Amino acid sequence: MTDVLTEACGCPVSRRKVLAAAGAGAFAGLAGDQLATQLAFASSPRYAGDVFVLLSLRGGFDGLSAVVPAGDPAYYTARPGIAVPKSQLIGGDAFFGLNPGLAPLLPYWKSGALGAIQAAGQPVPNRSHFSAMEELERAAPGTSLRTGWLDRMLGGLGADEVFDAVSVGSAMPARVLAGPAPDLGLTSVDSFALGGEDPTRPMAATMAALYAGAPDPLARTTAMTTAALATTKTLKASGYTPANGASYPDSDLGKALRDVARLIKSGVGLMSACVDSGDWDMHENLGTAAPGKKMYDHLNALATALAAFAADLGPAGMKRVTLITISEFGRRVAQNGSGGLDHGYGNAMLVLGGGVKGGKVYGRWPGLSADNLVDGDLAVTTDYRAVISEIVRARCGVTDVSGVFPGVTPTSLGLVSSR
């Protein structure tokens, strides 16, 4: 596939979005060395908050399999073939335990860098993948807002440079970043390139010359494009070796998190990054908590990638990083006839970072008895938007959370310390 650098999602140029679709070729040649020296590694010293990493678990993550309510007997009644036995649980507390597939993250749970929130989710049930994810990323029900909540947050923080926000990997979470704040989409740092560029066709130089003296919206977009190309050229030339013996899995998630760590440590000014992890829609054969079984293997792959990310950044690097997981909905409490779980409601969120007060499960547990369920689903007792509001206010310096999540009051769970 040919590398392409283009405006994201058909947005007008004035929105200054930059999107790169990854391919096999490497970029060779920019519009002169002056671009690399002037624009590469243009960090944003104005921002002193955490790098906020959003990990979307797409397909409907089963939080009950990950953060297991072992103290609720209804869990074992509802899942006779797929429940995680108490004897296999790790971490957790007197009521909850973690799936053994999450073992690579156990050191971070024990050190307090990893925590969880149970019974979290959207204000109302929505079992449609498309519409639930759209609402999750717009996060403004009952309003006419069409921007994404992360774009609104970045705008409030003054994001105005191309590397302030990135989405990394094969899936581009356009909805959460939809809006006027600039963002960069790339499949990987090393494959970021301008389509058709080669030594005999200096397209970047031609583009820079073409828009020289153009009106500011056009000139600004061109400058951002050439800046992104210059920066990634410098990064590619430098190469990258993960620190502290970190070993990323050879998976889409592992590769994406490796690049996020690379960007954080390179000083490009990163404020936020979006990464996707898919294939959580397990309607059948979810399996027991053992290697070779679907849910266990997915959780283990997730944990391995996250553990490598945390190890690569090290304690000092993690002090200014907060990563959270979200998913469009949870799964049904009761297993179905195919040994899987259908679309549900309440879910679990994971939070990883240097400012996290982890090693515990937050949120009010509603119970799994029939009279406590919502149409057979785990009830939501904690709005995911309120959780994120608490985090970004304490860790990212967002003072007006109502501008990010209209009508939402941040939780007071105390799950992170203030910077």
pLDDT(10) > 60: no
As a whole number, mean pLDDT of residues 144-164 equals 94
Burial group, residue 93, by CB count within 10 angstroms (0-12, 13-18, 19+): exposed
CA angle, residues 199, 201, 204, in degrees to nearest 5: 95
pLDDT digits (tens, 9 = 90+) for 205-231: 777 777 777 777 666 777 777 788 888
- Cα 135 to its chain centre, rounded Å, is 16
pLDDT digits (tens, 9 = 90+) for 374-390: 999 999 999 999 999 99
pLDDT digits (tens, 9 = 90+) for 234-271: 999 999 999 999 999 999 999 999 999 999 999 999 99
pLDDT of residue 212: 76
The number of CA neighbours under 13 Å toward the Cβ of 27 is: 32
Higher pLDDT, 197 or 339: 339
Average pLDDT for the chain: 87
pLDDT digits (tens, 9 = 90+) for 280-325: 999 999 999 999 999 999 999 999 999 999 999 999 999 999 999 9
pLDDT of residue 81: 97
